[in-house]
Amino acid sequence: MHTLAKLNRGELKGVVRLQLSENLTTFPEAIFDLADSLEILDLSNNKLSVLPDDLSRLKKLRILFCSNNRFTELPEVLGRCQQLEMIGFKSNQIIRVSSAALPSLTRWLILTDNRIEQLPEDIGRLERIQKLALAGNRLTSLPDSIKNCHKLELIRLSANRLYAFPDVLLSLPRLAWLAFSGNPFCVERDSHDEFKTVQFGDLALHQVLGQGASGVISLATWQRNTFDFPDKVAVKVFKGEVTSDGYPEDELDACLAVGSHNNLVKPLAKVVDQDCSALVMELIPPHYTNLGQPPSLVSCTRDTFLAGLQFSLEKIAYIVEQVDRLVLHFCDKKVSHGDLYAHNILISEEGHVLFGDFGAASKYGNLSMDQQQGIEQIERRALGFFIDDMLSLCTEEDKANELYPSLKSRCLSSITLKQ
């Protein structure tokens, strides 16, 4: 984090990335002194409502974050920033998004948790867009021109006001990660009354094990163990507000709807408490580690991996076989996971995988057969990208293995699925 004082004293000359969070109400003029170097500007968590009309003076600006501010419309000056390709205005009060505010190079657009009722009719002109995050708005439909966004791979539409599933999405040739729960067209949530319930006071939370968009996972022990559960468990406490993927209540519903599977983290009980929602899960053994890392600003929709990570082709085939069976299980339960990524997978030394995080999951059993098949093809495409990522981790020598062409063929056939 940088400071306004250092900026004004000229101590940040030449920086490529600038982050300022000091309850700013106006855009600091001194930022323009960085025009020859600045590529990433993060002004999140301030009190800004406008940007300067000459923002395009930042001639190298590629990425702009202005989340948690007070914008009521997406600034049209953005459209004049010719190098801008990633725009993040999460958790503002944006009502209006005009076509003029969207630069033609846009690859990644984050407008989660605003008040947007409609998108520009010509959004299809954004031919490079790959990621579009729109959860937690007031959209009632999507522009038909979105069918021209042929590079779109991820879209989040949960927690909006869509009264019909947007069929136009089923024609997109690369769409692989889709979230749409919490809309009027969706099936009602199941209360899962048959599932075991405990009180929050029955548990004692200890250190944090991990956290994501929808909640925090902590190690827990029992104050009162009614059901003879293991002494140590994991507890995911859901955030109460809409997340980048949708409503936490939909995540809990989907997680319980898919039931048990050898490659899923086992849920044990749900926590009933008026102040919070939580899920008690089996504690994952410590020898399981993350298979992948989340996408970077560069990779956009694709996972990243630790430097030097490699697997034998036999191990990759075993991993793919498990995830393939899991996708079939999801289809059988009529639940789209929506976030089929290596960074949501834990792997043991032997290659056994455990899958979790249902934040982007959506139930679709109430939709038409054509829509159901289209959603399942989108999920299979995510599997294709996953296989492609896994194959990038094998050695050059392994590419001569007879397993390689069959896995590559499955990868390509899944990615190129057509309606």
CATH number at residue 396: 1.10.510.10
Same domain as 260, residue 390:
no
Phi, psi of 170 (to 5 degrees): -70, -15
Q: What is the dihedral of CA 68, 70, 73, 74, to 10 degrees?
A: -40
Q: Is 160 inside a domain boundary?
A: no
Cα separations (Å) of 292 from 109, 345, 349, 353? 23, 7, 14, 12
Q: Which residues of the chain have pLDDT under 70?
A: 417-419
Same domain as 148, residue 59:
yes
Angle CA 126–130–132, to nearest 5: 85
Same domain as 273, residue 399:
no
Q: Is 159 inside a domain boundary?
A: no
Could you list the residues known to form a binding site, using ranges. Answer: 236
Residues near 302 by Cβ (< 8 Å), separated by ≥ 6?
295, 385, 389
Structure tokens at 58: 């930042």
pTM of the model: 0.94
Same domain as 338, residue 203:
no
- Measured from the Cβ of residue 89, the count of other Cβ atoms closer than 10 Å reads 27
Same domain as 402, residue 312:
yes
Token pair 């930042």 is found at 58
Looking at residue 419, what is its pLDDT? 44
Q: Which of 282, 299, 334 is the last residue of a domain?
A: 282
Same domain as 396, residue 303:
yes
Same domain as 314, residue 255:
no
Count of the separate structural domains present in the chain? 3
CATH number at residue 135: 3.80.10.10
Same domain as 140, residue 10:
yes
Could you list the residues known to form a binding site for ATP, using ranges. Answer: 236
* pLDDT tens sequence across 153-177: 999 999 999 999 999 999 999 999 9
Q: Is 208 inside a domain boundary?
A: yes
Q: Is 256 inside a domain boundary?
A: yes
Same domain as 313, residue 400:
yes
Same domain as 19, residue 87:
yes
Same domain as 409, residue 315:
yes
Same domain as 346, residue 367:
yes
State the residue range of the domain holding 20: 1-152
